[in-house]
Amino acid sequence: MLSRRDFLKLFGLGALGTFALGSYAFAIEPLFRLRKKRYQFTPPGWTADLSLKVCVLADFHFCKPWMTVGRLRSIIDQAHALEPDIILLLGDFAAGMRT
């Protein structure tokens, strides 16, 4: 049998975990977790003198307060600093159905 004290402990831990996960999802990741990954490969049939630098941007979920115009500008500036030959925009630009 679960005592009242044990129930309150479990409920408190669950609430704390939910708050921590929500804080990460809505504050930390959108504001501080811009991921940059570099991949290098040679497609079949390409010679060593051919090169193509591609920058892929996705999942902006552009809405206030998490993705402001200033944050979007910072991401774009960082993409331009990589000096890609082409920039691909993959989608998920708006956070909701109404834009």
pLDDT digits (tens, 9 = 90+) for 6-21: 999 999 999 999 988 8
Residue with tokens 């408190």: 12
Q: What is the pLDDT of residue 94?
A: 74
Q: Is the per-residue pLDDT at 66 higher than 60?
A: yes
Residue with tokens 């996705």: 58
- Which residues does 38 contact at the CB level (< 8 Å), separation at least 6? none
Q: What is the pLDDT of residue 33?
A: 67
Q: Is the per-residue pLDDT at 34 higher than 90?
A: no
